[in-house]
Amino acid sequence: MDKGFVQFSSLLDNDFYKFTMQHAVIRLFPKAKARYKFINRGKDAFPPGFAEALRQSVEAMCKLKLTIEEKEYLRITCPYLAPTYLDFLQGYCYNPDEVSIEQDGERLSISIEGYWYRTILWEIPLLSLVSELFYGMKGQLRNNDKEVIQITKEKIKKYAELGVTVAEFGTRRRHSYKVHQLVVQALKEYGENSFVGSSNVHLAMTNDVKPIGTHAHEWFMFHAAQYGFKMANSLGLEHWTEVYEGDLGIALTDTYTTKVFYKQFDKKFAKLFDGVRHDSGDAIEFAEQTIKHYQKLGIDPLSKTIIFSDALNYDKVARIADYCRGKIGMSFGIGTNLTNDVGLQPMNIVIKMVEAFPEGDEWIPVVKLSDEKGKYTGDEKMIHLAKTILNIPE
């Protein structure tokens, strides 16, 4: 890689849930629009010329095309994706005009705007571009393949000894594509029965492992803009089942706090969905709350699964596994700790939907009220309104 330029090699170098959501958006909300913004949680200082280098990398994205081989892979691996969607994806190309990039000293601003079915694919590639460019321009790229492989090998062996299953979720904050590729290869080689797949579709395909993912917070955030906060969770779930009919059955709980979610995650949804994903707040409290919810509905928690995915490392996984074992099914999606463990401080960056434009409406601010207050995102007035409507205490 030229330290001022990063180029993607595949349209599928993205998280699986972006494609599954895109498929659903095309079917249900083809005229909706969305706006996203970059949030630099870690307050990293960007070097001079960063915006220009990022713009160059973004411009190159328009050259990516779904190959015939990739389309056939999706057709066979993901039968729930409609043939019409695969045809659409074969004709899809990124439009760099949807992305605005500015730099003011060491501060970086990125915004995305356009039809939701198009702009939904930008988030993950942009974050990985920012991360790899940042390390490249600071001269901090890592080329010790053996060290990356050895670190990953040791980690997956320890997870196997714990008796847990692990998926790789680290595209968005990876140190580089090369490190990411080495990590997935090592997980596949040494993971035995512990490594179950990757959220990155391209690397899942090239390593012959399962692509993993369902939906993200923006799915429910948009539903709040379209239908109101009271209906966002229930209609988000209803529409998901309308498209996927029971496939891709892991529900994300914390867009408006898990407590609110479980008020609407009734017996029908609890039976239809295979489980839930934990993404914020205390993992043990979440597991306890989830187990009690299933028990209250007369459902055996051991027939369901929690996917834990919040900033995991070995110690956290061991603590969670010790609590959940024999009580409820579990699996772990590990991101940055796998794809950016190279002796540097990983970046803490996100891109979030900030406004939605439902069909026949106007631009409406959207918010996320996770189980960790520090992770609230969005317009302050709208956050207050959501908390008032949903009876979430200050």
Q: Which residues 6+ apart lie within 8 Å of 105 measured at CB? A: none
Distance of CA 295 to the CA centre of its chain: 29
* In a domain? residue 322: yes
* In a domain? residue 220: yes
Q: What is the CATH number of the domain that holds 108?
A: 3.20.140.10
* In a domain? residue 380: no
Residue 126, pLDDT > 90, answer yes
pLDDT-derived band at 382, boundaries 50, 70, 90? very high
Same domain for 25 and 120? yes
- Read off the pLDDT of residues 307-336 as tens digits, 9 standing for 90 and up: 999 999 999 999 999 999 999 999 999 999
Domain that holds residue 32: 16-138+349-362
- Read off the pLDDT of residues 10-24 as tens digits, 9 standing for 90 and up: 999 999 999 999 999
* In a domain? residue 126: yes
Contact 266, 298 (CB under 8 A): no
* In a domain? residue 78: yes
Please write down the HEC assignment for all residues of the chain. Answer: CCCCCCCCCCCCCCEHHHHHHHHHHHHHCCCCEEEEEEEECCCCCCCCCHHHHHHHHHHHHHHCCCCHHHHHHHHHHCCCCCHHHHHHHHHCCCCHHHEEEEEECCEEEEEEEEEHHHHCCCHHHHHHHHHHHHHHHCCCCCCCHHHHHHHHHHHHHHHHHHCCCEEECCCCCCCCHHHHHHHHHHHHHHCCCCEEEECEHHHHHHCCCEECCCCCHHHHHHHHHHHCHHHHHHHHHHHHHHHHCCCCCEEECCCECHHHHHHHCCHHHHHHCCEEEECCCCHHHHHHHHHHHHHHCCCCHHHCEEEECCCCCHHHHHHHHHHHCCCCEEEEEECHHHHCCCCCCCCCEEEEEEEEECCCCCCEECCEECCCHHHCECCHHHHHHHHHHCCCCC
Same domain for 118 and 166? no
Same domain for 156 and 274? yes
> What pLDDT is recorded for position 4?
66
> What pLDDT is recorded for position 359?
87
Same domain for 166 and 241? yes
- Read off the pLDDT of residues 221-268 as tens digits, 9 standing for 90 and up: 999 999 999 999 999 999 999 999 999 999 999 999 999 999 999 999
* In a domain? residue 165: yes
Same domain for 134 and 163? no
Residue 2, pLDDT > 50, answer no
Share of the chain above pLDDT 90, in %: 94
Contact 120, 25 (CB under 8 A): yes
> What pLDDT is recorded for position 393?
86
Same domain for 109 and 150? no
* In a domain? residue 82: yes
pLDDT-derived band at 143, boundaries 50, 70, 90? confident
Mean pLDDT of 124-143: 94
Same domain for 288 and 307? yes
pLDDT-derived band at 144, boundaries 50, 70, 90? confident
Same domain for 99 and 169? no
Same domain for 152 and 280? yes
- Read off the pLDDT of residues 279-294 as tens digits, 9 standing for 90 and up: 999 999 999 999 999 9
Burial class, 60, CB count within 10 angstroms (exposed 0-12 / middle 13-18 / buried 19+): middle
* In a domain? residue 298: yes
Same domain for 72 and 179? no
Same domain for 51 and 122? yes
Residue 3, pLDDT > 70, answer no
> What pLDDT is recorded for position 1?
43
Residue 235: CA count within 13 A, CB half-sphere: 14
Domain end: 307, 339, 371, which one?
339
Number of domains observed in the structure of the chain: 2
Same domain for 122 and 193? no
